[in-house]
Structure 1
Amino acid sequence: MVGAIHRGAGTHDAVDEWPARLTAAAGHAGVFEDLLPLALWVVDGDGRLVQWSLAAQDLLGHTPEQMVGQDAKRVLVPEKNHELADRLARSVRTGAAVVARLPVRHRDGTLVDMELWHCPFADSRGRPGVLAIAAETSAVERMRDALAALEGLFAQSPIGLAMLGPDLRFLRVNEALARMDRVPVAEHIGRRVTEIAAGTEALEAVMRRVLDRGEAVVDYRYTSSSADPKRQRTWSCSYAPLLGAAGQRVGVIASLIDVTQEQRAHLEAERARRRLALLAEAGTQMGSTLDLTQTAQEVVRVLVPRLADSADVQLLEEAVAPDETAASAHGVVRRAAASFVDPAAPADHLAVGRTLQIPRGSVYEQVISEGRPMNLYLSDIGPLIPGPDADTLREYLRARVIAARLIPMVARGTVLGAVVVTRTRGHEPFDDQDTLLIDELVARAALNIDNARMYSRERDAALTLQRSLMNPSLPAVGGLELTARYLPAGDHEVGGDWFDAIALSDGRTALVIGDVMGHGIHAAAVMGQLRTAVRTLARRNTPPDQVLRSLDATVADLGDNEMATCLYAVHDPADGSCVIARAGHPPPVVADALGAVAFLDGPAGPPLGVGGQEGELQEVVLAPHSLLVIYTDGLIEARGTDLDQGMLRLARELRHPEHPLDRVCDDLLAHLMPEVADDDVAVLLARALPR
């Protein structure tokens, strides 16, 4: 029980049987040795020691060989306590058990305070002796304090506590843990955690790792399984190995804290952070282009998959179609973009470009007419696809979709269409924060789409105006072969660049190229006014310098913010001479028949509208087969490109002026213009014919 009992000569046979019997009865050897070492000695009727345990040797330093046969009182009891020791011995010999706290002499002479149990004992001759069981007082106090602390902790702690044995079965749990598990304390004892709550295999695996490795695990998060998210609980679980006195791992101590609210707050904060990040990202991704289709696709890319499992952007034909077709498209929507994460979605019925008539009296019509978003049900969405498609879509929705929302796209008081978003089963339905964010993103998208819609209409109007004002066909003139091109900036910008060739009454030809500052309808309208003014002045045979002075006054009359550049040249086929005047315009280029290229870097006055046109002229003779190239600055200037580099590239592209003129012009644009131009470009080529 506390170590082997040393037997001296004459030890009674009955004592020999104690260790075996007691060990068998205890069922777990070494408990007292681990927690509270107990010394044991036996004194016979003569007051002499007949037994001395190894635990007594550990506590008091005397070996059994030294103690057996010695006078117990003389060796162990200090003199001042001899009388007390005699009284205790007399009490025990009467058959009473006595408990006392007494100092006992250590082998080194020091006194050890001990708790002693004196029990009656018959020696080998049947005389009354004493069996003493002793423990060091400080050890008893430590054990008492530890037990009191443990009892207080288990009884009063709001934290769930448990002790588990080496087989990971509960040895003890407190009421707090029982409330967490919703299982009484008594029903925990002897059972494993997987027998208490389903889905806790991961917890048992963590405890097994703690027991095997001897390393504590702190703040392991575990969320209970529940179909209702509101009933799910999250625990912070900490586990540490339970160690015996020799350091062996004899179990696991567990503590559990309910951190559901903290976890929910953390998740909400993380969701809020993601929402803010998504809003910021949407600000950069949506509206990056003024193309309607691409803008609709950007909306889908922002929504799927981070906020929804599908997004379907449908635009009203009457809102985005040209004015002449809008009246015939009332109540018709066209799918502009769509994305479906779920591979089971009926993609054939949800193809981009398909149109459908909004059913009368449907939720879709209500949302469009009222301009208010709405959560949808299966019965609401089915009628949106007419004919047999409705059954297919309804079956898909019933099987796969858990939530859907229809949000109208409203911008500047006009409903442009709607966006349908869904989430599939296995995901949480849209909560209030989700719907707020989705509605905000759709509102932003509606504004971007409206910008693209208005810009497309403005661009179409500007192109129409520009084409009506600038006749792209060139006249047949004497002494020159002509070709020209106009390219808007990319697919979305129309500016005020123009070219013209005017046959004069005396056989000469006026060549004109100009560039009005700005883009859009206004720039095209100003260009039209200048082109008309130039033609009027040219037919009066006005000299080039006076033409530019008149144009300068015209631009100035249009307003302080108007500005343009212009080059006006008059070619005489009789002698090949060409008189040129420039107002802030890039210099023309002449390439001779041998490929020599020269920029006519003569005087260039200020732009039109600034004033101060001095009317300086430059004259050059165009030899037969030589090429004159006049252009606007968009041909040689681009963002990130030096002007001199642009002019060198232009010169290199004119090394073969003998090629057909249309080919020279097309090659020039193909090699000099970037895929996405910063500015529109006009270019006019004139080849001198043999005289």
Structure 2
Amino acid sequence: MRSAGGDAGRGWREATRVLDGVMIGALAVDGGGTLTYCNAAAVALLGRQREELLGRDIRDLLFEEPEHGAVEEVLRHLGTGQAWAGELPMVRAGGLVEPLATSWSPLTDGEGVVGALLIAEEAAGSGAHARRLAARLRRLAAVTTELLVAETVEAVSAIVTGQLADTAGATVSSLSTLVDDETLALIAMRGGRHGAASRWATYPLAASTPAGDTIRSGRMLVLRSSAEIAERYPTVESAADGERSMVCLPLQTTGGPLGVVTLSFPGRRALDAAELEFLGILADVCAQTLDRIRAVAAAADRESKLQFLADASEQLSSSLDYRATLRRVADLAVPWFADWCAIQLLQDGELRTLSIAHEDSSLVQLVEDLQTKYPPPRDGSRGAYKVLATGESELVPEVTDELLAVAAVDEEHLRLLRTLNFRSGLAVPLKVQDRVLGVITWVAGDRGRRFGRADQAFGEDLARRAAIAIDNSQLHSELRDVALKLQHAVLPAGLPKLDDVELAVCYQPAGRTDAGGDFYDVLPLDEGRLAVFVGDVMGRGVQAASAMAQMRSAVRTLVALDPEPATVMTGLDVVFDKLDMDQLVTVVYAVVDPARQQVRVINAGHPAPLVLGADGSSAEVTTSGTLLLGVGGGRREVVTAPLRDEDTLLLFTDGLVERRGEDLEQGSVRLRRAAVELLPPRALDEGLPMLVEAVRDPDRDDDVAALAVRPHRRG
């Protein structure tokens, strides 16, 4: 606050005289904290003569020494133009100190805050207390309503550190959220000591802090005095000078803890039980809102990743100039996925930078300087060379100042790291089968995402696609070779080895010179389940092979997010629309559950799978509503069929049963007759090729992909 003189000062002082007849204590102070006005009710409340009050410093006159810091903080708070209300111990006649209910409002002269109006009344009066409590609870209810309609984390942060804090009477407020299982990040703060937001940008959950204890316990933490705070947390800096009290509210949902809201009050704040209960409810609403916002953001992020993969796949498959293509892919990732991206390829035993993209083009040179002056250690202990040596990704969800200091070799190195704003990092290998061709590194800053496991899976998928493009470009120059290489690269190198489930696949290409579009995969899930799928992209050549790669990778990504059949197929519809494919694509997807002895199937225009009983019986798993991918206007059915121990599930492409000039039913009958080849005890990897040879078209006009799954008795 500043002092006001002349006409401006007289203006607001004269305005306070309207309070002369009010039956509640009213006092006014100037910018320096000197009492300039008090009404008759204030004189009666304090038991002092008016002459004793006017012209005196309010801190020395009405508050004991321990409360001076709290009054100073309230005055600073008013200087920002914001009001404050709460109970403070005040000195009355005879040196009696009693808590009074106070409400402070800034006084302005049109140019800024030049004083404060203090309304004070008895805190203990039941009627007045009930009215104040009711008013405060109404304001808290209004805050709850604001939280319920908030659409962004920024909006929640503003409500929590602004409206909630003001309503509760806190002068310092903060919101921290978990960025991983071990780290809290301060995402919003109002008030507090200079530099506190920077010092507490991230801090370990395991440290002895009020926020950490609140999250670990899952219970509200109430500390009623500075002495209590200091005794319990002697190494944690106080929010401000003087007497203080604080409340920490855990933010948690059924899925686990999300973060904590911390409110710090000047003086010894006595919170009513009803207020504490309401604050707990409000914290629950805040947690649910954050959870909802994150769920919406995660869904949007998944859709964005699918679209990015589609765009990147188009770029990667559109040219054999892998250097230019990778530069475009790096540019696509910035700033949507990361603040900057670097792509390095292995050449002559050394990683050489191919492309750098940064959201701020002026910092590209700094990234180059960093990689030139301070290359990662070539011993493979960390960084890009570790990824190169192991073929495994390196994920650092949260890069703290401490980590930067440890990683830096000198002050210049640390300066570069800080300038480039390292806050989260992800490095993935450009890997084809067992060969690592290079490394893609993404870095996010303060405002960017914090990379997690889902981001790692996405990055590895993209890197795998990029590696395939590099490998194809390096090894093949003719169109046929490129198409065949892509086709074989995107098909699984092998099936997983499982204890209680036998698997076999038979893939036989058509007798033509170019590649087809059949694809398949087996993905182990939790609880012993398996996700299996077989699909067919109509057509041949580079376009069919590219579309096959896109669809198989899309299925794998969707399964990683949520393996439910309906969810996966809905996601494939979105991918198909985003890719704007000209080819028709059919696919059948199933989740095998040996423990429940069942299989759940959903179909998009593909031949129905066959369940072959151990007793020689056979049954098609037919579904209603088998719309092709990308065709709207209907629904697909998820069908559950029994799949007992030693039964066999057979998924296949139409090349197995179709022959030119022949009715499809004839092929189905031929398949059932040949199914004897798959009866136990014959092994699937022996019987499946025999079945395919017996059933398929001898002219080999189409590719054939057949996948067999047989659960065994456990134990």
TM-score by shorter chain over 0.5: no
Under a length normalisation based on structure 1, what TM-score does the superposition of the two structures give?
Answer: 0.33
Under a length normalisation based on structure 2, what TM-score does the superposition of the two structures give?
Answer: 0.32
